[in-house]
Structure 1
């Protein structure tokens, strides 16, 4: 029997910049290779020689999982396996990353073009073979096109959950945990971002969200919803459509492009975006004239950036924050030292180096696309005690506490590696 090991290049005792290598004596596979977007410069995973790799498998398009992959194409053409929608969205996000970055990025558009040419498109549930490995993608329920990865080598089996969500939403079915044979797994690489926090029931969040929306609109106000361009903006549009909001709903920024992609790749969403776009209340912003019109009537405006760092949201925010009848509904995680976090905690908004007082109402709604603590514990009840559990993509303090808890209470064999660590499977 050959050796099998896992090396953590990124997301070890931290959230973001995912990068994991599964190594055998006959081949090596890179699972994700992302970038963490920091104020000074992006952070990339540890370097790994592309010449050693058999292929890359990309779980989903978010930059903290895809943003460093073009680095692998500076010297060779390497197969990359992913869903067709993940390829399209990753291309959009990485192009935007190159375009708007105010700092040096160690690759250019040509590497991204090479990456696209090397793509091997895979559907969910279909076995494919890479050297000595067998692999399969399963719906992860995180964003449209996202996947968990099952790998087999000889008689050993590994599950990489990547970012996943076991809760059904208006946009997506839950992660396809039912297709996993937990008894045969030798190792699970588990994303546990929210190991310390349980999300409220989705139906409760939706109901409160809609009630607050209607209250603002019925009093002639405007609701601005800063949302992540991929996944969150589309879910919010689905929720508003589901509850038949009778006011205009404007969709701006990159969120528009993702919605158009979902009309083409409709198998990845529960929502019929083609039908939605034919609704007279759904307005895709096509220029400044439409943006100004949105501000002249009670309306809902969905636009990136989710943490108010930039984009069209700045234009809208400046126009509405002075009036108490308006509201800003935050529906995304607000990172430390972001304008969104300052808005929530200080009641002030920093836009383009100016600080504004905010009279508009501000609310936060938990529309997370990750498993919370409750779902993670449900998942872990399915895990065989002999399986090696490797915790990633979680804050160091939270992960350390979670490791101790589940080792003690569930009797699981748990590792919480840092970047650079190697875990031997067999």
Structure 2
């Protein structure tokens, strides 16, 4: 029997963890943390221990290194998992980095224990080049091989093609992971597989489309100009991997194009300072810069021209916590135009919270959301109540929102509804079964209706 089970990302957009069983053996595709409301719903979400059998699990396949896809790996190891961790070559470099941060925040502060866990993880990683089949197991009665293809979500992201055989039964099953939007900075867009019998697909934005790149770039320009006009700060709650690097790329292009253009009086784009206040984001920006061979052709061309889209003159990186606190105080009191990219992306912790506490009450400032805000997170509340001059609770205190609040959806690393439909329509031999995961209920239903509208059958919402 070839069977699929789900251990996360069925009631929302976090906790991705799917199981593919081929006869007596199985693999996991991702093993991620729950976040937002999902982190407090039910035993599965609130209890980080692995509460499903894993004795038969032969490997873990990682689609990409966002924490909602890899954050439970330490708990999987603690539960006794002894198999390989299969991922793309860029993900193999980034996975220990992201898990080191996760271990320090939610697991232990014991440096020696962290190093032992990271050493174990590194020893288990099997880096597989894109487009090459990799045999996971091959017995007389059952076999599985997998192939990773570019997903365009973040650097190293992949969707997984699985060629499974159990006796005389043979199937190809595709797990989408998180698919990226087309025309995103830095990364080539995903190309659909030629065929699949079953497809497990994400639906984060299954009910809406993103702005095109020209529109979102214009909106980003408008928000940044507001900071220049009134000496305010634009706060961008940013995910350390993907979004931060894409925004730096786009901001560098705006500065290059409009650098000497006057905004107000003597102020020009060259007066705008960009701050990355996140040690983890800074580290991944460095890694992104080192992995230029995996960039798209547009980004490679800029490098050939002598441009440095992730490392330019107006960029300042803050690592030290004392420097972070001083930056918060300085920007809150002065009228120096600045853009601050700080973690975390949903405002549920991290350095962005200190900026929000200090700056939400000042109408000179702006908050710019460029990623999905899960229900139950402060980011969702700011996005919902900010336009009504409402309030948000941060660390147990209420803060009135007077800063302007913006959302530029085009910078989401996720595909929009039309992108998801186009991906499925591009499969020359379409699946007989599609399972829609990784989305809020409304997004899943909207995507299901869209799929059925183009004649696809066997649509399931687990």
Normalised to the residue count of structure 1, the TM-score between the two structures is 0.86
Alignment counterpart, residue 208 of structure 1, candidates 203, 219, 233:
219
Counterpart-to-counterpart distance in 1, 2:155 and 2:47 = 25
Q: In structure 1, the residue corresponding to 2:458 is in which secondary structure?
A: strand
Q: In structure 2, the residue corresponding to 1:318 is in which secondary structure?
A: helix
Query: Which structure has the highest helix share of the two?
Result: 2
Partner of 2:264: none
Alignment counterpart, residue 181 of structure 1, candidates 189, 194, 198:
194
Counterpart-to-counterpart distance in 1, 2:432 and 2:173 = 9
Cα contact 2:365–2:403 (8 A) shared by 1:
yes
Query: What are structure 1's unaligned runs of at least 5 residues?
Result: 419-426
Partner of 1:333: 372
2:67 pairs with 1:63: yes
Give the deviation of 1:149 after TM superposition.
Answer: 0.7
Give the deviation of 1:113 after TM superposition.
Answer: 3.5
Cα contact 1:18–1:45 (8 A) shared by 2:
no
Q: In structure 1, the residue corresponding to 2:28 is in which secondary structure?
A: strand
Partner of 1:275: 308
2:42 pairs with 1:31: no
Alignment counterpart, residue 85 of structure 2, candidates 80, 89, 114:
80
2:57 pairs with 1:53: yes
Classify 1:400/1:363 alpha carbon distance in 2 versus 1 (closer, same or farther; 3 Å): closer
Partner of 1:161: 176
2:407 pairs with 1:364: yes
2:277 pairs with 1:252: yes
Task: Number of aligned residue pairs: give it.
Answer: 407
Classify 1:330/1:12 alpha carbon distance in 2 versus 1 (closer, same or farther; 3 Å): closer
Partner of 1:345: 384
Q: In structure 2, the residue corresponding to 1:371 is in which secondary structure?
A: coil
Cα contact 1:249–1:300 (8 A) shared by 2:
yes
- Greater Cα shift, 65-74 or 91-100: 91-100
- Greater Cα shift, 222-231 or 84-93: 84-93
Q: What's the CA shift string for 1:299-347, capped at 9, x where partnerless?
A: 1111111222222213323333343322222222222232222223323
Q: In structure 2, the residue corresponding to 1:65 is in which secondary structure?
A: helix
Q: Could you say what the CA RMSD is over the residues aligned between the two structures, in angstroms?
A: 2.7
Give the deviation of 1:43 after TM superposition.
Answer: 5.5
1:384-395 to structure 2, matched below 5 A, reads: 384=429, 387-395=432-440
Cα contact 2:424–2:430 (8 A) shared by 1:
no
Give the deviation of 1:96 after TM superposition.
Answer: 2.6
Partner of 1:421: none
Give the deviation of 1:45 after TM superposition.
Answer: 9.1
Partner of 1:306: 345
Give the deviation of 1:26 after TM superposition.
Answer: 6.2
Cα contact 1:19–1:45 (8 A) shared by 2:
no
Give the deviation of 1:290 after TM superposition.
Answer: 6.7
2:317 pairs with 1:284: yes
Classify 1:290/1:11 alpha carbon distance in 2 versus 1 (closer, same or farther; 3 Å): closer
Classify 1:45/1:410 alpha carbon distance in 2 versus 1 (closer, same or farther; 3 Å): farther
Q: What's the CA shift string for 1:149-204, capped at 9, x where partnerless?
A: 11113553121111102412113221132xx212xx21111112222112222321
Cα contact 1:35–1:42 (8 A) shared by 2:
no
Classify 1:343/1:278 alpha carbon distance in 2 versus 1 (closer, same or farther; 3 Å): closer
Cα contact 1:13–1:417 (8 A) shared by 2:
no
Query: What are structure 2's unaligned runs of at least 5 residues?
Result: 138-142, 256-268
2:131 pairs with 1:125: yes
Classify 1:276/1:28 alpha carbon distance in 2 versus 1 (closer, same or farther; 3 Å): same
Partner of 1:135: 146
Normalised to the residue count of structure 2, the TM-score between the two structures is 0.80
Classify 1:215/1:147 alpha carbon distance in 2 versus 1 (closer, same or farther; 3 Å): same
Classify 1:164/1:412 alpha carbon distance in 2 versus 1 (closer, same or farther; 3 Å): same
Alignment counterpart, residue 378 of structure 1, candidates 418, 422, 429:
422
Cα contact 1:37–1:43 (8 A) shared by 2:
no
Counterpart-to-counterpart distance in 1, 2:56 and 2:458 = 28
- Greater Cα shift, 189-198 or 322-331: 322-331
Counterpart-to-counterpart distance in 1, 2:350 and 2:375 = 19
Classify 1:102/1:345 alpha carbon distance in 2 versus 1 (closer, same or farther; 3 Å): farther
Classify 1:45/1:142 alpha carbon distance in 2 versus 1 (closer, same or farther; 3 Å): farther
